[in-house]
C-alpha cells in the first residue's frame, strides 16, 4: 500500500462542547493520510492517476471551517467520510487526526487529539 500524507493543516473554527469554544473559536490542526496506489501515477507522471493534494486540503477545510459540532471525534468522522466519498475509487482508506492545541481544560500538556482510521488502511 502507498500513502499520501498531508500534515499540520491549520484552521480556525468554533467546535467544542463549551459555550466559550462556540463563541470565541480556537485553532485546529489536522493530519490526513490516504491509502492509495501511487504506482501508475509514478510511472506515467499523470495527475489524473493520483489525488490532488490541494483538493484534499479544500475538502478538509470545508469540514473543519463548516458547521460547528461539539466533539472533535465528529470533525474527524466528517473529514474521513468526505475524503472517502470525494476521492473514491482512488482512495482505499484514510487516517485522520484532529488536534486541539489549546483546549480550555486545566493542566500542562502539548495538545489533545483524536485519530481515526476508516476504509482499507493497512
How far apart, in whole angstroms, are the C-alpha atoms of residue 17 and residue 15? 7
Based on the residue annotation, tell me whether 70 is a catalytic residue of this protein: no
Q: Edge-to-edge strand order for the sheet containing 93-100?
A: 3-13, 26-35, 93-100, 112-119
Of residues 49, 61, 70, 100, which has the active-site annotation?
Answer: 100
How far apart, in whole angstroms, are the C-alpha atoms of residue 32 and residue 34? 7
Residues labelled as active-site residues: 100
Amino acid at each position: 500500500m502507498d500513502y499520501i500524507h498531508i500534515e499540520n493543516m491549520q484552521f480556525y473554527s468554533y467546535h467544542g462542547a463549551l459555550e466559550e469554544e462556540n463563541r470565541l473559536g480556537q485553532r485546529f490542526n489536522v493530519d490526513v493520510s490516504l491509502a492509495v496506489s501511487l504506482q501508475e501515477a509514478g510511472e506515467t507522471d499523470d495527475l489524473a492517476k493520483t489525488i490532488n493534494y490541494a483538493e484534499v486540503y479544500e475538502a478538509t477545510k470545508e469540514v473543519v471551517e463548516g458547521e460547528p459540532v461539539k466533539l472533535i471525534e465528529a470533525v474527524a468522522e466528517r473529514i474521513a467520510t468526505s475524503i472517502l466519498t470525494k476521492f473514491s475509487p482512488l482512495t482505499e482508506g484514510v487516517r485522520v487526526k484532529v488536534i486541539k492545541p489549546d483546549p480550555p481544560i486545566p493542566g500542562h500538556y502539548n495538545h489533545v487529539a483524536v485519530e481515526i482510521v476508516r476504509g482499507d488502511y493497512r
